[in-house]
Amino acid sequence: MKVNIRYTVDLEEVLDEMSNLYFKSNDALDRKLEIYDHFLRNGFNEADVEHVITALEHNLDCYVDHQTKVAEVLNILRGYKSIKDGDTQQPVLEQEPQTPNE
């Protein structure tokens, strides 16, 4: 199960934060891919077909997770670039309608 976590960082910290998120995901991908790597290293043989299938399915899942994280980082970096380039306005806070005093 996955959960969505939102938090705020200063604009000056965006690049460091995105770099950390990317490399954390990349390191996790590498660790997860190693789990079944021995079944994929020396070619496929009949005796290991089930293990190879499991390994390849596992790898696909790992790549999907990493791809999702990379897409999130990319989206944030595009927004960051737009702000730095002046292409995006900062969000305007909405004011609550005022009611007349009676």
- What are 8-42's pLDDT values in tens digits? 899 999 999 999 999 999 999 999 999 999 889 88
CB 33 within 8 A of CB 49: no
Q: Which residue range(s) make up the domain with 31? A: 11-85
d(CA 88, CA 80): 9
- What are 43-75's pLDDT values in tens digits? 898 999 999 999 999 999 999 999 999 999 999
Q: What is residue 3's predicted lDDT score, i.e. its pLDDT?
A: 79
Q: Is residue 30 part of a domain?
A: yes
39 CB neighbour count, 10 Å cutoff: 19
Q: Is residue 99 part of a domain?
A: no
For residue 77, the one-letter residue type is L
Q: What is residue 2's predicted lDDT score, i.e. its pLDDT?
A: 74
Count of domains forming the chain: 1
